[in-house]
Amino acid sequence: MCGIAGMAGVADELLLQRMLHLIRYRGPDDSGIWLNIPSNGAAPVALGNNRLSIQDLSPAGHQPIFNEDGSIGVVYNGEIYNFQELRRELVADGHVFRSHTDTEILPHLYEKYGAAMVERLNGIFAFAMWDDHRQKLLIFRDRMGVKPLYYAVAGRRLYFASELKALLLCPNLDLTLDPQAIQEFLALLYVPNPRTFFAGIHKLPPGAMLEWQDGRSSVAPWWEMKFGPYFERPERELSAELRDHLESATRRQLISDVPVGFFLSGGIDSSAIVACAAKAHARLRCYSISFREEHGRLEQSSDDARFAREVATQFGAEFTEVEADPAAAQWLPKAIWHLDDPVADPAAIATYLICRTAKPDVTVLLSGQGGDEVLGGYRVHLALKLTRLLRRLPASMRQRALPAFLRFLARHNEMAPRIAPGLVLAFSRYLSKLASIAGCSDQEQYIALRSYLSEDDLGNLLSPAMKGWLAGISPTARFQQLFSERSHDDVLNQLLYVDGKTFLPDLNLAYSDKLSMACSIEVRVPFLDNEVVDFLLQVPPSLKIHHFTQKYLLKRGMDGILPPGVIHRRKAGFGLPVRAWLQGELRTMTRDLLSPERLRQRGQVNGAAVARMLEENETGRVDHTYRIWALLTMEIWQQTFLEFSYEGNRLSSLDPVRSAAVTRTQ
C-alpha cells in the first residue's frame, strides 16, 4: 500500500519530490522517483512512489518497478490478492522476477496482455504504467474504487496523485472552486466523481482507465457492474456458497508480511469477516469505537461496543475498545487535511481514532465495508417496500399524525422506558421522510433519501450569487445520469448500481482510505473481493432483501456461526454521537466557525438561514446534525486549502461567486 504521484508531458523532479513529500505518510518505508527526459523528442515523464511495505519488506520492492529491459515501468498503490497465481503463470512463460512483491507482476502482465491485463487482477489498486515503446501512460483504478486517484490536465500536460492535495503544487491548474461541487457536497455530504471542489482537478472513476499519449488524455471504463444472469439454485445452497466465497476472500486478504487486525463494529458485516478469519486460524486483533451512554442518547444505537465485545469473546480475539468523547472533535481539522476531497461524515474521525490506536500493533486492518452496498443493507434500499405500505394509510395519518406521535414519545421517553429516545427519533425522521416521498418514483425516492438537503432547502441555504451560478443545475444530476444507464435493471439493482458508482467510492471508501493511510495503515475489504462481488451480481434481488429482511442471504449463511443478536440487530451507522455534541460541548466552536460574519465573507451560503438552522438544532426542534457537520467541514476545508501555504507555494482564496474564471457546467 503506497502513495503515488507523477506527470506526463513534463518531467519536473523537484515538483515530484514535493508532491511525494506532501503525502509521505502513505508510504513512510521508502520513496522512489524515475524520470524520462529524452533527447530525441520523445515524451517526458516522471513517476514517483512512497512505499508502505506489506509484501516483501526487502529493498527489492523499491518502486518504480520495471520489466527486464526497462521499457515498461509502474508505480503502484494497492494489493493484488491473486499475484502468486499470476506470477507462476508469468514465470512459466519465461519472465524473470527480481522481488517477491505483487507490484512486479504488473509490467510483465502488461507485456503479455496489454491494457487488458487489468481484467486479470483481483485486488485494490491505483497504478500508473509507462509504455516506452508506445510512448503511452496508462493509469488504472480498481473495480469498486477502493484506492483513490486524482488527476489534472494543463494543456498537453497530465499530473496525477493518490491524493488531491499533491496536485495543488502543480502549475497552471484551474484552482477555482466549482459551484456545482459545493451544491452537491451540501446536499449529499460528498462530491460524486469525477468532480472535486476544484474545477481543474478530477477523480478517476472506479473501474476506469486514463490514457495519455502525445499530449492527449482520455478516460474510459475498463470494467462495468452488470447484474445477472441470476442463479436458480435453492437459497440454502446460495447462502452456503456466499459464506464460502467470503471465507476465501478473507483468507486471501490475510496474506501479509506484517501484522493484521480487524475493524469490529458488532454489526453483521465486520463480525462475519472476523468469523471467516477465525476459521482461517488467523490471530485476531479487533478494534471498536465506543462512547459514553449520555452522549449516545440521541443516536439510534450506542451498543456497538457491547456487540463487538460479544463477537470478540466468541472467537477468542484480542479486543481493544477506543472511547471517543467530545474532545475527538479536535481531530476534525486533521481529518479534513487528510481527506482533502472532503467528506462530511463523522465516521472519518472514528476511523482515524481506531487506526491511530491500532498502528503500534498492526499495519493492515480488514473491514466489513462494502457489505451494505453489495447486499442491500441500507434503509434507503428497503424504502420502496415501506412506501408501498404507507400509501395504504390516509395521507393525514402518514404525513402528520404518526411522525408527531413518535416525536412526542421520544421527548417523553419515560412513558416507554425500554425504548431509547435516539431510536425513536431516528425512526421518526425516517418515517417522516418516507411519508413525504411515498408518491414519488422509485428513483426520486432514492435521491430524496440520499440527500440531506432538497433543492428547495438548498434554495433557502445558498446565497443569491450562488443560486445565480447554479440556476437550472440539479445537485443530483449524477444520480439521474446513472439511473438512466441501468433503467432496464430490477429497481434494487438500480439502487445498488448508483451506490456502487458514487456513495461507496466517494464517501465510504474515501474516508476509510484517507484516514487509515494518515496512520500508515492499509485497509482491506473482503466484501469487495472480485469473487464475492461477481457472485452477488448473480444473486436474485429477492435474496438480498427477502420480504423485509435485508442482507438475507448473508444472515442465513452466518446463522449458527455468529450470535443471533448480532445477525438480527437493527442497522446502526458507524460513527460518533455528534448530535449530542453539537447541542452541548461543540456548540461554541460551531457558532464561531459558522458565524454570520465569516459566512458573509465566503459568499456561498445565507448566514441568516444557517443561524436559524443552528437554533433549531440546539433546541431539538429540527435535527440538522449532518447539514451542520457539512457546513463545518466545508468551512474548515476552505481555511485549510484556500488559505494554505506549502514551501512558498501560496494558494489564494478563489471565490466561486466573484471569480470570472469559474466555468458554469450545464
Domain boundaries, the chain: 2-174+198-221, 225-384+503-661, 385-494
Q: What is the pLDDT of residue 574?
A: 74
Q: What is the pLDDT of residue 421?
A: 62
Q: What are phi and psi of 275, to 5 degrees?
A: -65, -40
The pairing of beta strand 2-8 with beta strand 157-161: antiparallel
Cell of 67: 520489466
What pLDDT digit, counting tens, does each position of 357-407 carry? 999 999 999 999 999 999 999 999 999 888 888 877 776 666 666 666 656
What pLDDT digit, counting tens, does each position of 637-654 carry? 999 998 754 443 434 333
Are the beta carbons of 102 and 90 closer than 8 angstroms?
Answer: no
* Higher per-residue pLDDT: 442 or 391: 442
Mean pLDDT confidence for 431-442: 84
Q: What is the pLDDT of residue 650?
A: 38
Q: Report helix, strand or coil for 582.
A: helix
What pLDDT digit, counting tens, does each position of 43-89 carry? 999 999 998 877 666 777 788 999 999 999 999 999 999 999 999 99
- Residues of the chain with pLDDT > 70, as a percent, come to 89
What pLDDT digit, counting tens, does each position of 80-138 carry? 999 999 999 999 999 999 888 989 999 999 999 999 999 999 999 999 999 999 999 99
* pLDDT band for position 661 (cuts 50, 70, 90): very low
What pLDDT digit, counting tens, does each position of 530-545 carry? 999 999 999 999 999 9
Q: What are phi and psi of 245, to 5 degrees?
A: -65, -40
Rounded to 10 degrees, the C-alpha dihedral 314/320/321/327 comes to: -170
Domain 225-384+503-661: which CATH class?
alpha beta
The pairing of beta strand 30-36 with beta strand 45-51: antiparallel
Cell of 432: 417522516
Mean pLDDT (the chain) is 89
* CB atoms closer than 10 angstroms to residue 246: 25
Per-residue HEC secondary structure of 498-566 comes to: HHHHCHHHHHHHHHHHHHHHCCCCEEECHHHCHHHHHHHCCCCHHHCEECCEECHHHHHHCECCECHHH
* Higher per-residue pLDDT: 665 or 452: 452
Residue 558 clears pLDDT 70, i.e. is over it: yes
- Residues of the chain with pLDDT > 90, as a percent, come to 73
Per-residue HEC secondary structure of 340-383 comes to: CCCCCCCHHHHHHHHHHHHCCCCCEEECCCCHHHHHCCCHHHHH
CA distance 357 to 308: 17
Q: What is the pLDDT of residue 660?
A: 29
Q: What is the pLDDT of residue 647?
A: 41
Q: What is the pLDDT of residue 49?
A: 95
Q: What is the pLDDT of residue 580?
A: 83
Residue 208 clears pLDDT 90, i.e. is over it: yes
Residue 428 clears pLDDT 80, i.e. is over it: no
**DSSP states of 273-338:** HHHHHHHTT---EEEEEEE-TTTTTTSS---HHHHHHHHHHHTT-EEEEEEE-GGGGGGHHHHHHH
Q: What is the pLDDT of residue 277?
A: 96
What pLDDT digit, counting tens, does each position of 464-498 carry? 999 999 998 999 999 999 999 999 999 999 999 99
CA distance 202 to 521: 25
Are the beta carbons of 183 and 666 closer than 8 angstroms?
Answer: no
CA distance 15 to 18: 5
Cell of 299: 443516536
* pLDDT band for position 655 (cuts 50, 70, 90): very low
To which CATH superfamily is domain 2-174+198-221 assigned? Answer: Aminohydrolase, N-terminal nucleophile (Ntn) domain (3.60.20.10)
- State how far Cα 169 lies from the chain centre: 24
* pLDDT band for position 423 (cuts 50, 70, 90): low
Q: Is the fold of 2-174+198-221 the same as that of 225-384+503-661?
A: no
* pLDDT band for position 25 (cuts 50, 70, 90): very high
What pLDDT digit, counting tens, does each position of 288-328 carry? 998 766 555 556 555 678 899 999 999 999 999 998 877 77
Are the beta carbons of 22 and 165 closer than 8 angstroms?
Answer: yes
Cell of 401: 399524525
Cell of 533: 462481488
27-36, 206-215, 413-422: range with highest mean pLDDT: 206-215
CA distance 641 to 661: 18
What pLDDT digit, counting tens, does each position of 165-192 carry? 999 999 999 999 999 999 999 999 999 9
